[in-house]
Amino acid sequence: MLQSARMPPYSNLVSDSNLVQETIDLLRVSGGRANASQIVDAVFKVSHIDDELAGLLVGDLVRDDRRFKILNGNIVELQAYDCESRLLNELDYVVVDIEATGAKMPPNRIMELGAYRISGGKIVDEFVTLVNPEIPIPRFVIALTGITNDMVKQAPLFAEVAPQWLEFVEEAVLIAHNAPFDTNFINHEISRVYPGHRMINPHLCTVTLSRRAVPGLANYRLDTVAEHFGIYIADRHRAGSDALATAEVFIRILARLAAHGVRDLAAARSFQSPPLEPNDKEERLSDQPSLLPLVPSF
């Protein structure tokens, strides 16, 4: 029989297991629920297993994952995550920027993390810290960011920062300028602290949003978009300063989304990633290097 899973230490941490994702896919095509034996048969590829053992296997698989609920002992139900349908002005956002020792992980690590919480269209809280990356910072990164090895020597490790970071973010939508870079780096660090887990928070990217909301700029680097809105960046390529500028940019973009009929998170995600017309692909691809920087900040 399935046992009710204990609550996870952080509600925004979920399993990154392929088996869990396959279970989610199965439940989605099965009306949102299935018994443990069905899941074991389809996901574990094990047939003719007794209900008790099936319950133990699936119970262990989905333990501590808020996306699942166990009903009547051996039925697993996929829980609706209604964040996508919530109005943009009802959501909290955490705008984040990281500075790292290099653009690729591994082997590179985060050396500074900066974030600002937006609620009700205003910045209400901040989270800024240096992080000891436990590896040397290359000279060109020191020249770019001004962050030296001496500066991070006594800084907390990411493992020490992670609990406060997860509590700071909670259920907020993550925002970043070149969001895939920042969120992938953060989840890489999270997986080192909490093996097999990642953050479930949805994210939006101010690069792609600004490209749609503010067409016609020469490029969509943070400096350019911030200058368009008259936003001053005090200390470029430092996580706190860049995150603050990105937060100010996002607040201005939010004000423009309603004019485009974008009112909820699902619409915002679609708005930032419209289908490409065949003759647009070459132009958009030529702009892609800005989304994958050769240096660890955008």
Tens of pLDDT along 170-183?
Answer: 999 999 999 999 99
Expressed in percent and rounded to 5, the helix, strand and coil fractions of the chain are 45, 20, 35
Q: Tell me, what's the pLDDT at 273?
A: 82
Burial class (CB in 10 A: 0-12, 13-18, 19+), 6: exposed
Q: Please state the rounded mean pLDDT for residues 202-217.
A: 96
Burial class (CB in 10 A: 0-12, 13-18, 19+), 228: middle
Tens of pLDDT along 149-170?
Answer: 999 999 999 999 999 999 999 9
Most confident of 42-56, 94-108, 264-278: 94-108
pLDDT band at 55 (very low <50, low <70, confident <90, very high): confident
Q: Tell me, what's the pLDDT at 285?
A: 37
C-alpha to C-alpha distance for 133 and 232, rounded to whole angstroms: 29
Domain count of the fold of the chain? 2
The answer to whether residue 250 is domain-embedded is yes
Q: Please state the rounded mean pLDDT for residues 5-13.
A: 66
Residue 11, pLDDT above cutoff 60:
yes
Q: Please state the rounded mean pLDDT for residues 79-108.
A: 91
Task: Give me the phi and psi of 255, to 5 degrees please.
Answer: -65, -25
Specify whether 126 is located in the same domain as 59: no
Q: Tell me, what's the pLDDT at 296?
A: 38
Name the pairing type of β-strands 75-78 and 68-71. antiparallel
Specify whether 233 is located in the same domain as 104: yes
Identify which has the larger pLDDT, 56 or 90: 90
Q: Tell me, what's the pLDDT at 90?
A: 94
State whether the Cα torsion 46-49-51-52 is positive or negative.
Answer: negative
Give the chain's length. 298
The domain spanning residue 70 has which CATH number?
1.10.10.10
Nearest to 74 by CA among 53, 88, 100, 95: 53
Specify whether 42 is located in the same domain as 177: no
The percentage of residues in the chain with a pLDDT greater than 70, rounded to a whole number, is 88
Average pLDDT, the chain: 87
Specify whether 26 is located in the same domain as 124: no
Question: Which domain-ending residue is among 49, 80, 111?
Answer: 80
List, in sequence order, the alpha helices (H) in the chain: 18-28, 36-39, 51-62, 139-145, 149-153, 158-169, 179-193, 206-213, 222-228, 239-257, 265-272, 281-286
Specify whether 118 is located in the same domain as 263: yes
Question: Which domain-ending residue is among 32, 51, 80?
Answer: 80
Specify whether 104 is located in the same domain as 168: yes
Specify whether 140 is located in the same domain as 279: yes
Question: Which domain-ending residue is among 53, 80, 107?
Answer: 80
> Residue 188 CB: number of other CB atoms within 10 A?
17
Specify whether 140 is located in the same domain as 258: yes
Q: Please state the rounded mean pLDDT for residues 261-270.
A: 94
The answer to whether residue 296 is domain-embedded is no
- Catalytic annotation, pick one of 177, 197, 203, 237: 237
> Residue 104 CB: number of other CB atoms within 10 A?
11
Strands, sheet with 110-119, edge to edge from the N-terminal-most edge strand: 122-130, 110-119, 93-100, 173-176, 203-205
| Helices 239-257/206-213 angle, 10° precision | 40
Specify whether 62 is located in the same domain as 104: no
Specify whether 93 is located in the same domain as 218: yes
Residue with tokens 């209604």: 82
Task: Assess contact for 176 and 205: CB atoms under 8 A.
Answer: yes
The percentage of residues in the chain with a pLDDT greater than 90, rounded to a whole number, is 67
| 188 noted as active-site residue | no
Structural domain span for residue 101: 88-291
Residue 52, pLDDT above cutoff 90:
no
pLDDT band at 134 (very low <50, low <70, confident <90, very high): very high
Q: Tell me, what's the pLDDT at 282?
A: 39
Q: Tell me, what's the pLDDT at 53?
A: 87
Q: Tell me, what's the pLDDT at 283?
A: 39
| Helices 18-28/51-62 angle, 10° precision | 110
Q: Please state the rounded mean pLDDT for residues 30-48.
A: 90
Residue 292, pLDDT above cutoff 60:
no
The domain spanning residue 125 has which CATH number?
3.30.420.10
Residue 129, pLDDT above cutoff 50:
yes
The answer to whether residue 222 is domain-embedded is yes
Tens of pLDDT along 219-243?
Answer: 999 999 999 999 999 999 999 999 9
State whether the Cα torsion 197-12-122-251 is positive or negative.
Answer: positive
Tens of pLDDT along 98-113?
Answer: 999 999 988 999 999 9
The answer to whether residue 61 is domain-embedded is yes
